[in-house]
Structure 1
């Protein structure tokens, strides 16, 4: 069976490179989401472990060690171990240190040692060890010192390091390694660039088209679809169209007459308390039937104490019902004051890049609109809300993101909570289905 029976053309190219190029010590497979990087790297991991076992036999060692690294135990489990179990029908017996062995016929075992790369604490499991290779998943999330230590630990004969990553800013240490290798013609480092179209044959066409339609234009599209190491240029919400994403109060009331609003719309609020910078409350009306979001209120002000914010929030409750307030928790005493006042106040989900992508996707699909008469500072901030070229996230400047953050808190916390509820429901249904099958078999 040829490689193209199992792998895409790009994946087959990487497999051939692994087998025929004897010079490299570090392979970085980088690119778009859903591009097939992790799938092929899991095969490379298995091949590299097999090679380590061959070296162990050659050197008459009872076993050798190999590093398996990822941001956390959860990502290693979901991205690698679960896939290996499915693909190769493997089972893993973990020891008290969280390591396990992979055994091949007639070869010494290879001990797989976990390392967690997000912080320097991840070094504890590999300090002092000699490794015969490593596989680093989601390498752009790794702490640079941990990444460097993994390289130093891989001092066994013919040890090679495989890593996969989605791209980040061009100044990221991994991109610097790639660029330096290209500039100096360093044969010990190889990199392979994937776009989402490299895995098109394995993706459902409806899913792919949906992803293309909903990924915001600019940096997020360049990274997620084209797999480019790029920093942002221009405004964050570049798809925002005043002619499409802004509607009048009259148009909103036409779409949702007063009696209908009470039955169709759900209301949530975002809160950034501010003080020296602007504080803000926005109210978002959500039409769950159409997955549409409307900013219908914006209250923005400087130097208000918590009592005034409570007063404003209670007015909104009188107007829209007992709505949840998703709050910036940088000032916990203000959040506590809201709760003591009987308001349904909760910590906002604050992941910035994830949140910007969610809001940007809604803007691109015209599923987020603002009421023209509700706008105070929203529009002023929108066109000053730029990407930071150094961090690859929205710029943090006084006065350019208070309302932007508050809108994100409201919408994305709601979406995040819905996704968590749906995941729990799916798990409970799956559990119920399995229980029913066992019951039918007379096992319970």
Structure 2
């Protein structure tokens, strides 16, 4: 399943000899496999002492790294102890931890470490990374990490990568810093084309499914600013329809709650043609209507909207899920008390959610019915917040985004149910 490393990927494994070693760049470029191979070598030959593996969450660490290690060396040599915060690799017990917020620092205070592996490093608070560095106090201790690029003002790039002593660049050249204050860090930069084992059709599909910012970062491996229109792959002529075909399953409603701001809900189904359709929109803007609604009134409005929606001679729909703005706890309680089935808190990971929507547009598996006026008005004007980008943060500008948020909630929260529609997701290819 895993092809031998070649070229830049193989070269990086021989250069990973610094105190800190980081693989960064495009998705599916081989950086994860290369870093894992170096980590497995370190587990067996590194100095004695405690080891640590870190991910954005323990769940993502298991999915992205530990499950891959199991595939590489087998279940006898890699045993994950769910709930115990440990994984045993080659008989060596290793702590595991998530680092998605500032509180994560408390998880590693007091540890004395001989080595650490970090996945998705840019998702960590800088405070966690700094604390981890101080914990690596065993003589000869090293850390190994992977990440996709973020903005050029991100702390990891400015404080660590730009000060690395050695850099294997995207073009394959090796540059050694002459700055005496350079950090004992080796940086390895990858682009998608650095992985020669990927099928051409798979590479083409990856390039189609990533648009704008995500193309530059996840395909070209650039550390670039989030600026301009977020969904630059959206094309009204391509993605807006006047007729919704036969729907094989009404997958979900994506709902953004608002009282002073607009309330927006979108009905999303999977068609018999294996494409998704935003078929209808329920929207109430209290500023225009000059009337603010209660939770009970909104609940009644949503239920009446679904009950009255008519499609191909059939009136009323029952979506499998109703994904609600996670901050709207009282409204979810109202829906539950009113007997609405499938109500769940939406996944509000903004950047991953935007990427899910962008992939659906890029692979042309998503269309919007022309009646969804609020969504169609918002999409072309949905842009990145330039002030946030200057601070190293990726955030959409919070203006006229209510229907778009509903779309993000619906698609990202149900991504496992429509992932099979994407050609890029149909292949099992090593990272």
* Distance in 1, Cα, partners of 2:141 & 2:35: 16
1:227-246, aligned counterparts within 5 Å? Answer: 227-246=221-240
In the other structure, the counterpart of 2:77 is 91
The verdict on how the C-alpha distance between 1:264 and 1:120 changes in structure 2, with shifts beyond 3 A counting, is: closer
Alpha-carbon distance in 1 for matches of 2:329, 2:343: 11
Flag the structure with larger Rg: 1
Return the alpha-carbon distance in structure 2 between the equivalents of residues 148 and 277 of structure 1: 40
Query: SS of the counterpart of 1:202?
Result: coil
Which string of whole-angstrom CA distances, capped at 9 and with x for unpartnered residues, describes residues 16-39 of structure 1?
Answer: 3136xxxx3211111111111121
- Alpha-carbon distance change, 317 to 84 in structure 1, aligned in 2, over 3 angstroms: closer
Aligned to 2:410: 410
What is residue 170 of structure 1 aligned with on the other side?
152
1:405-443 CA distance string (max 9 Å, x none): 1122333334445669xxxxxxxxxxxxxxxxxxxxxxx
Q: Deviations over 1:118-147 (max 9, x none)?
A: 345545564444433322222222232221
Shift of 1:299: 2.5
Question: Which one of 317, 332, 336 corresponds to residue 333 of structure 2?
Answer: 336
Alpha carbons of 1:111 and 1:221: their partners in 2 closer, same or farther (altered >3 Å)? same
Deviates more, 1:274-283 or 1:81-90: 81-90
Deviation, 1:305, is 2.6
Distance between the aligned counterparts of 2:42 and 2:53, measured in 1? 11
Aligned to 1:310: 299
Size of the aligned set, in residue pairs, is 383
Q: Distance in 1 between matches of 2:111 and 2:118?
A: 17
Could you say which residue in structure 2 is the equivalent of 1:442?
none
Displacement of 1:346? 1.1
Instruction: Quote how far apart the aligned CAs of 1:221 are.
Output: 1.0
Whether 1:326 and 2:312 are equivalent positions in the alignment is no
**Aligned 8 A contact 2:264 2:281 in 1:** no
Q: TM-score, structure 2 length as denominator?
A: 0.77
Shift of 1:14: 0.6
Q: Which residue of 2 aligns with 1:351?
A: 349
Q: Superposed, which structure 2 residues align to 1:162-241 within 5 Å?
A: 162-176=144-158, 177-181=160-164, 184=179, 186=182, 188-199=184-195, 201-215=196-210, 217-241=211-235
Report the Cα distance in structure 2 between the residues aligned to 1:380 and 1:266, rounded to whole angstroms: 24
Can you give the 5+ residue segments of structure 2 that lack an aligned partner in the other structure? 166-176, 287-291, 310-315, 421-431
Q: Distance in 1 between matches of 2:419 and 2:37?
A: 31
1:403: how far off?
1.1
- More strand by percentage: 2
Residue in 1 that maps onto 2:396:
395
- Give the match for residue 116 of structure 2: 134
CA separation in 1, counterparts of 2:348 and 2:305?
23
Q: Cα distance 1:386–1:339, how it changes in 2: closer, same or farther (>3 A)?
A: same
Q: Which moved more, 1:378-387 or 1:180-189?
A: 180-189
Mind listing any 5+ residue stretches in structure 1 that lack a counterpart?
54-62, 104-109, 421-444
Within 5 Å, give how 1:286-301 maps onto structure 2: 286-301=270-285
Task: Give runs of aligned pairs for residues 5-44 of structure 1, distance below 5 A.
Answer: 6-18=4-16, 24-44=18-38
Ranked by relative contact order (alpha carbons within 8 Å, sequence separation 6 or more), the top structure is 2
Q: CA deviation at 1:99?
A: 6.4
In the alignment, the residues of structure 1 paired with residue 306 and residue 358 of structure 2 have an alpha-carbon distance, to the nearest angstrom, of: 28
CA contact (8 A) 1:231 1:392 kept: no
What is the rounded CA distance, in whole Å, between the counterparts of 2:347 and 2:272 in structure 1?
Answer: 20
Instruction: Return the alpha-carbon distance in structure 2 between the equivalents of residues 232 and 284 of structure 1.
Output: 28
Paired with 1:123 and 1:190, the residues of 2 have a C-alpha distance of 24
Distance in 2, matches of 1:368 and 1:227, equals: 26
Aligned 8 A contact 2:85 2:97 in 1: no
- 1:46 equivalent in alignment to 2:43: no
CA contact (8 A) 1:70 1:115 kept: yes
- In the alignment, does 2:137 pair up with 1:155? yes
Give yes or no for contact 1:218–1:233 (8 Å, CA) kept in 2. no
Displacement of 1:117: 2.9
Name the structure 1 match of 2:174. none
